[in-house]
Amino acid sequence: MGEGALNERLIQTDACVAEGAAWLCIADPRFAQAMVGLPPLPLRLKPDGFAQLLSAIVSQQVSVASANAIWGRLQEAGMTQESAVLGTSEEALRALGLSKQKARYAHALALAEIDYVALRQMPSADVIKTLIAVPGIGAWTAEVYAMFSLGRADVFAPGDLALQEAAKLMFDMPERPKEKDFRVMSAAWTPWRSVAARIMWAYYKQHKQREGIR
């Protein structure tokens, strides 16, 4: 288990994920029950930077399959750097599959001039605060970025519908938890909330036969 970012735990290897999963299975037997029959949990680490945040914006409120298709077209067109996006009209971005709103968000992200290297050393709360100041980046996008691009071990995304559905199934709830209640519920999984999310996404995939996260 690595540490950094002002002593926050970082997920860097499969061993980190396994350590977190073992802790969660002891802390709450329902995680142990959920993991029966699951394949090994994915590390899911991704690069950081502009392209990953733009990819996350693409993923908002569309299926994983649709997001993959749109992102593929953006990559083929070279739309993975700020300068390329700024030099492209919203109409041209829409022709690649972005909605009018997301084309506007892509330009806003390119104009934001985020210091991505500095984010690596910021506490997770400050990372999320910095990112959500950009139009088009909400809590879900910022949390997913902190989890997978920065490797933060104790970040959760309670607004994620797949996580909510997994929680409903795993914890035998009458309905999906609301985001505010889910955030409170997830506090019990500190310091491994990011691993809890990995378990729940894997559980969702197994029981719904489709991906819940790109």
Q: Can you give the C-alpha Rg of the chain in angstroms?
A: 17
Supply the pLDDT for residue 213.
74
76: left (phi over 0), alpha (psi -120 to 50) or beta: alpha
Supply the pLDDT for residue 3.
52
Supply the pLDDT for residue 62.
85
pLDDT in tens, the chain (214 residues): 455 445 899 999 999 999 999 999 999 999 999 999 999 999 999 999 999 999 989 988 888 889 999 999 999 999 999 999 999 999 999 999 999 999 999 999 999 999 999 999 999 999 999 999 999 999 999 999 999 999 999 999 999 999 999 999 999 999 999 999 999 999 999 999 999 999 999 999 998 877 777 6
Q: Determine the length of the chain.
A: 214
Supply the pLDDT for residue 211.
77
Q: Which residue has the tokens 């700024």?
A: 86
Supply the pLDDT for residue 208.
83
Supply the pLDDT for residue 171.
97
- CA separation, residue 176 to residues 28, 59, 139, 181, 197 (Å): 19, 21, 19, 10, 15
81 in Cβ contact with 113 (< 8 Å): no
105 in Cβ contact with 136 (< 8 Å): yes
Query: What is the separation of C-alpha 20 from the centre of its chain, rounded to a whole number of angstroms?
Result: 17
3-state secondary structure at position 46:
coil
- CA separation, residue 153 to residues 22, 46, 70, 116, 198 (Å): 14, 14, 29, 19, 11
Roughly what angle, to the nearest 10 degrees, separates helices 139-148 and 50-59?
130
Supply the pLDDT for residue 4.
47
17 in Cβ contact with 195 (< 8 Å): yes
Cβ neighbours around 212 below 10 Å, total: 20
Supply the pLDDT for residue 6.
58
